[in-house]
């Protein structure tokens, strides 16, 4: 059984709540590629601390409201 990623996120859910924001729009807002946003959403890539803060600020939330960490 595959182990869940240590860092979880609510990005997809938040994008939908935020008027259906596209992955491309979020990527442009935080200065990364759409492919990076996709990888972060799927839990295949953990964002840098800077990107995590940028994503959180787009949604007006704290980092821990967007990302979770499981040891």
Q: Could you state, in order of their start, the residue ranges of all structural domains in the chain?
A: 7-69
- The pLDDT of residue 6 is 79
- The pLDDT of residue 70 is 77
Alpha-carbon distance of 42 to 11, in angstroms, equals: 9
Question: What pLDDT digit, counting tens, does each position of 5-42 carry?
Answer: 678 999 999 999 999 999 999 999 999 999 999 999 99
* pLDDT exceeds 80 at position 2: no
Question: What pLDDT digit, counting tens, does each position of 39-58 carry?
Answer: 999 999 999 999 999 999 99
From the candidate CATH numbers 1.10.630.10, 1.10.260.40, 3.40.250.10, 1.10.10.10, the one assigned to the domain spanning 7-69:
1.10.260.40
* pLDDT exceeds 80 at position 4: no
CB 56 within 8 A of CB 65: yes
């Amino acid at each position: 059984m595959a182990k869940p990623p240590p860092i979880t996120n609510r990005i997809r859910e938040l994008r939908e709540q935020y008027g259906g924001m596209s992955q491309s729009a979020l990527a442009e807002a935080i200065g990364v590629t759409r492919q990076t946003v996709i990888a972060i959403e799927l839990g295949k890539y953990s964002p840098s601390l800077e990107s995590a803060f940028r994503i959180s600020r787009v949604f007006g939330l704290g980092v821990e409201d967007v990302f979770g960490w499981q040891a």
